[in-house]
């Protein structure tokens, strides 16, 4: 067993100008600089990106799957948060 494994990093790439960074995968690297270099080689070989973010996986906090119900269920019955809930007659003009 080698002494120490390189930490895991999550990689986010902005595909085109104006779009958000999107998670594309992960890789191992010793530090941020190294992670960005590796991400460039692994995830942008076909022009997939114009910007790379890397975050050490250990620093990501995530919601727990067991809390899915209490977390997301309350949003289910709030149809009035969508524009289609409100019936506006055509006579009112473009809205």
Partner 1 sequence: MYAQMVKSTGKGLVARKDMLPEDRAFQDRIDAGEKIEPKDYMPDGYRRNLIRQIGQHAHSEIVGQLPEGNWITRAPTLERKANLLAKVQDEAGHGLYLYCAAETLGVSRDEMTEMLLDGRMKYSSIFNYPTLTWADMGAVGWLVDGAAIMNQVPLQRTSYGPYARAMVRICKEESFHQRQGFHIMMAMVNGTADQKRMAQDALNRFWYPALMMFGPSDKDSVHSAQSMAWRIKMNTNDELRQKFVDETAPQVEYLGLTIPDDDLQWNEDTGHYDFTEPDWAEFFEVISGNGPCNVDRLNARKKAWDDGAWVREAMVVHAEKKAARKQAAE
**Which residues of this protein are in contact with partner 1, per CB under 8 A?**
1-6, 8, 24-28, 30-31, 34, 42, 45-46, 62, 64-65
Whose Cβ is closer to partner 1: residue 19's or residue 30's?
30
What per-residue string of b and e applies to 3-33 under the rule 16 or more CB within 10 Å gives b?
eeeeeebbbbbbbeeeeeeeebebbebeeee
- Which residues have C-beta within 8 Å of that of residue 3, sequence separation ≥ 6? none
d(CA 33, CA 24): 18
CB of 64 to partner 1, least distance (A): 7
CB of 17 to partner 1, least distance (A): 22
CB of 2 to partner 1, least distance (A): 6
């Amino acid at each position: 067993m080698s002494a120490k494994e390189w930490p895991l990093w999550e990689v986010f790439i902005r595909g085109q100008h104006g779009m958000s960074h999107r998670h594309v995968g992960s890789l191992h690297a010793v530090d941020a600089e190294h992670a960005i270099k590796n991400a460039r080689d692994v995830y942008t070989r076909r022009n997939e990106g114009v910007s790379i973010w890397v975050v050490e996986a250990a620093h990501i906090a995530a919601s727990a799957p067991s809390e899915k119900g209490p977390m997301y269920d309350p949003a289910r019955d709030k149809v009035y948060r969508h524009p289609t809930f409100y019936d506006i007659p055509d006579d009112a003009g473009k809205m």
